[in-house]
């Protein structure tokens, strides 16, 4: 191995970055208690703070949140819980 290869390998090992990451997951949550235009902002910010969450789109009209995340870093349950903790209970939408 040359010096650059060793440095890159050491960087990955020290930072915890995985060379082989799996595919992201996307989950739709039904979100309760959204009654005004600022509620989706609160939900989005709470969900974005969860490690592993990559994208959050909240719809006030549909009362839903679509969340894309790394399933090796977090779970849908953890993401829903942070929304619940800020006053907006979020449960994974049942698939038909």
d(CA 91, CA 88): 10
Q: Is 85 helix (H, G, I), strand (E, B) or coil?
A: helix
- Residue 5, pLDDT score: 45
Domains detected in the chain: 21-92 (3.30.70.100)
The whole-chain average pLDDT of the chain stands at 85
Encode pLDDT of 26-70 as tens digits.
999 999 999 999 999 999 999 999 999 999 999 999 999 999 999
d(CA 93, CA 31): 9
| pTM summary value | 0.75
Where residue 75 falls among pLDDT bands split at 50, 70, 90? very high
């Amino acid at each position: 191995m040359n010096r650059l290869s060793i440095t890159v390998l050491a960087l990955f090992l020290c930072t915890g970055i995985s060379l082989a990451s799996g595919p992201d997951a996307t989950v739709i949550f039904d979100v309760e208690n959204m009654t005004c235009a600022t509620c989706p902002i609160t939900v989005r910010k709470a969900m974005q703070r969860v490690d592993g969450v990559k994208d959050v789109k909240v719809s006030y009209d549909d009362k839903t949140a679509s969340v894309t995340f790394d399933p090796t870093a977090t779970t849908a349950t953890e993401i829903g819980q942070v929304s619940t903790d800020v006053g907006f209970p979020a449960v994974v939408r049942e698939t038909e």
